Amino acid sequence: MVYVVGLLSLVFLVLTIVVLTRLTSLLKGLNGNQTETRVGLSNRINAVLFLAFLVLGTIAAAWSFIHASDFFLPEASTPHGRRTDSLFWLVMAVITAAFVVTNTLLFFFAYKYQYREGHKATYYPENHKLELIWTVIPAVVMALLVFTGWRAWRDITSEAPADAVVIELMGKQFDWTARYAGVDDNKLGNYNYKLIDPGNTMGIDLSDEAAFDDFTDNTLHIPVGKPVLLKIRARDVLHSVFLPHLRVKMDAVPGMPTRFWFIADKTTDQMKAETGNPNFKYELACTEVCGQGHFSMKMNVVVEDEYAFNKWVSEHKTWLSQNPDYASRIPANLKSKAAKYLPQDGAASEADTTGTATATASVSMR
């Protein structure tokens, strides 16, 4: 590697000397110290090379695009994703057309107007009509692209429908945890970062009764054809939620909850059939470099029909039932509501504790 760097440095040094030598000769010619020399065959060769570069470059660019198309993502599995893709390809078409036209003229003019003896260039100090054309047309095109993009972004970031399935995603070094609203309601309980500890990694606040039926999982399950609202947060550093096939992307920022809602309209099984890949899986990845383990920060995603989703939800135990030790944090006025989410022995012990406290208070009053 050292020899390669040294060789390249030597080549660049030689090229620099050549350029400086030619520049010195040119300056002498401009100062009148050197007579005009005739332009030889090299000028015509350079002109032809401009055309050759245009043709070969166009062929190479077209080949590169066609070859890379095999690695493009398949059609989006969400309506907003397909809309976003169509806008992307519209912008690409406009940019490509402008690039092809301007560069074709650039290289063609280099050939057509190459130096010829006896020919003198014609200069146009100003051309208001031409300037108006190349100013107004790009401005109008840009305004239309910005407006259509703004409308799409407005719709994507609008408030989620009232019946949206609410799921919370929390990123931390180096994994994701999903919290579901349970089967009794479609409402997530509150959380408090001050409550986070080794057992309560999401800081679930049991002073809110809506948290009693919540449960957590390390897989993201999504019902097909229903609006899904992702409530996103980070526990430590900046992360980013990215569901490529669903065209969902939103940063997870510590201390600043974000959200994204969408409708998935293709199940995992449908995508397996559509892609011809029996091993196809939806995936959630982190696209914000968040530390040494960033590469492994992934989460499996399952898109299924509503019946299968509801069945999967009903089979889960609530977080409270799996962590009965936290029942002591439930306010006294909510313990009766929380009892059905606790294990029977836990509920009994809670009842015994309450009964003992009541009996003791009764004896004390006597």
Residues 143 and 214 in one domain: no
Residues 280 and 186 in one domain: yes
The predicted-structure confidence for 204-249, as pLDDT tens digits, reads as follows 999 999 999 999 999 999 999 999 999 999 999 999 999 999 999 9
The predicted-structure confidence for 139-190, as pLDDT tens digits, reads as follows 999 999 999 999 999 999 999 999 999 999 999 999 999 999 987 888 899 9
Average model confidence (pLDDT) for the chain?
86
**Cβ atoms within 10 Å, residue 309:** 19
Residues 140 and 47 in one domain: no
Q: CA-to-CA distance for 155 and 161, rounded, in angstroms?
A: 12
Tokens 């719709």 belong to 155
**Number of structural domains the chain divides into:** 3
Q: Where are the beta strands (DSSP E) in the chain?
A: 165-172, 175-180, 215-217, 220-223, 227-234, 239-243, 248-252, 258-263, 282-286, 298-304
Residues 336 and 217 in one domain: yes
Give the pLDDT of residue 44.
86
Domain presence at residue 337: yes
Per-residue pLDDT at 100 exceeds 80: yes
Residues 148 and 214 in one domain: no
Residues 191 and 335 in one domain: yes
| pTM, entire model | 0.75
Give the pLDDT of residue 164.
93
CATH number at residue 223: 2.60.40.420
Q: CA-to-CA distance for 231 and 213, rounded, in angstroms?
A: 17
Domain presence at residue 25: no
Query: What's the domain range around 138?
Result: 126-158
Alpha carbon separation from 37 to 29, 104, 121, 271 (Å, rounded): 9, 30, 18, 69
Residues 334 and 241 in one domain: yes
Say which DSSP state 116 is in: -
The predicted-structure confidence for 54-83, as pLDDT tens digits, reads as follows 999 999 999 999 999 988 999 999 999 999
Q: CA-to-CA distance for 44 and 48, rounded, in angstroms?
A: 6
Contact of 182 with 313, CB cutoff 8 Å: yes
Residues 92 and 151 in one domain: no
Q: CA-to-CA distance for 316 and 334, rounded, in angstroms?
A: 22
Per-residue pLDDT at 347 exceeds 60: no
Give the pLDDT of residue 349.
47
Domain presence at residue 362: no
Residues 59 and 191 in one domain: no
Give the pLDDT of residue 215.
93
User: Pick from 104, 134, 158: which residue ends a domain?
Assistant: 158
Residues 107 and 254 in one domain: no
Tokens 């390809």 belong to 89
Domain presence at residue 33: no
Domain presence at residue 139: yes
Give the pLDDT of residue 97.
94
Domain presence at residue 364: no
In this structure, is the dihedral angle defined by the CA atoms of residues 257, 263, 269 and 273, taken in order, positive or negative? negative
Of the candidates 235, 229, 225, the one whose C-alpha atom is nearest the C-alpha of residue 200 is 235
Give the pLDDT of residue 185.
81
Domain presence at residue 346: no
Domain presence at residue 68: yes
The predicted-structure confidence for 121-141, as pLDDT tens digits, reads as follows 778 788 888 888 889 999 999
Residues 112 and 141 in one domain: no
Residues 216 and 235 in one domain: yes
